[in-house]
Amino acid sequence: MSGAAPLRDWVATAPTGAASVLAEELVTFGATDVRERRSDVKFRGDLEVGYRACLWSRTATRVLLTVGEVEAASAPGLHAALTRIDWRDHLATGATLACDCSGGNEAIRHTLYGSKLLKDAVCDALRETTGVRPDVRPERPDVPLHLHVEGARAVVSVDFAGESLHRRGYRGDSGRAPLKENVAAAVLLRSGWPGIAERGGALVDPMCGSGTLLIEGALIAADAAPGLERGYFGFLGWHGHDAALWLRLLDEAWMRRRSRPARRCVIGSDVDAAAVRIALDNAACAGVAEWVHVERRPLSAVRAPPSAPGLVAVNPPYGERIGDPEELPATYAELGRVLREHFSGWQAAVLTGDPGLAARMGIYAKRSHRLFNGQIDCRLLRFDLAAPSVPRAPEAARAQWASREGAAMFANRLRKNLNRLEPWALREGIECYRLYDADMPEYAFAVDLYGRDERHAFVQEYAPPRDVDPEAARRRRREALAALPEALGLPLTRVHTRVRRPQKGARQYEKRGEAAQRQVVREGGLEFLVNFSDYLDTGLFLDHRMVRARLRAWAAGGDFLNLFCYTGTATVYAAAGGARSSLSLDLSATYLEWALANLRLNGLSGPQHVFERADCLRWLESAAGGGPRFDLIFLDPPTFSNSKKMLGVLDVQRDHARMLTQALHLLRRNGRLVFSTNYTRFKLDREALADVAAIEDLTAATLPRDFERNPRIRQCFLLRHAADAAAEGQPSTSRKR
Quick: pLDDT tens for 109-135: 899 999 999 999 999 999 999 999 999
Question: Does pLDDT of 53 surpass 50?
Answer: yes
Alpha helices by DSSP H, 131-192:
181-190
Percent pLDDT > 70 in the chain is 90
What is the pLDDT confidence band of residue 732, given thresholds at 50, 70 and 90? low
| DSSP per position, 309-323 | EEEEEE----TTSSS
Amino acid at residue number 32? T
Chain segment 427-464, per-residue pLDDT in tens: 888 999 999 999 998 888 999 999 987 899 999 988 77
Question: Does pLDDT of 569 surpass 50?
Answer: yes
The answer to whether 685 touches 719, Cβ cutoff 8 Å, is no
Question: Does pLDDT of 1 surpass 70?
Answer: no
pLDDT attached to residue 427: 86
pLDDT attached to residue 483: 87
Q: What is the mean pLDDT of residues 412-435?
A: 91
What is the pLDDT confidence band of residue 202, given thresholds at 50, 70 and 90? very high
Q: Distances from the Cα of 718 to the Cαs of 148, 579, 697, 721, in angstroms?
A: 34, 18, 6, 10
Average pLDDT, the chain: 89
What is the pLDDT confidence band of residue 304, given thresholds at 50, 70 and 90? very high
Q: Which helix (H) or strand (E) holds 667?
A: strand 667-677
d(CA 50, CA 48): 5
pLDDT attached to residue 543: 95
Question: Does pLDDT of 79 surpass 70?
Answer: yes
pLDDT attached to residue 395: 57
Chain segment 223-255, per-residue pLDDT in tens: 999 999 899 999 999 999 999 999 999 999 999
pLDDT attached to residue 467: 75
Alpha helices by DSSP H, 464-568:
470-488, 545-554
Q: What is the mean pLDDT of residues 177-189?
A: 92
For residues 91 and 5, the model is more confident at 91
- Domains in the chain (CATH in brackets) are 8-159 (3.30.2130.30), 181-224+260-390 (3.40.50.150), 396-502 (3.30.750.80), 520-727 (3.40.50.150)
Question: Does pLDDT of 486 surpass 80?
Answer: yes
d(CA 379, CA 315): 10
pLDDT attached to residue 321: 43
pLDDT attached to residue 397: 57
pLDDT attached to residue 700: 95
d(CA 480, CA 279): 42
Give the residue among 480, 668, 648 at the shortest CA–CA distance from 559: 668
d(CA 570, CA 550): 10
Q: What is the pTM of this model?
A: 0.59
The answer to whether 680 touches 640, Cβ cutoff 8 Å, is no
The three-point CA angle 519-347-40 to 5° equals: 45
Name the DSSP class of 377.
E
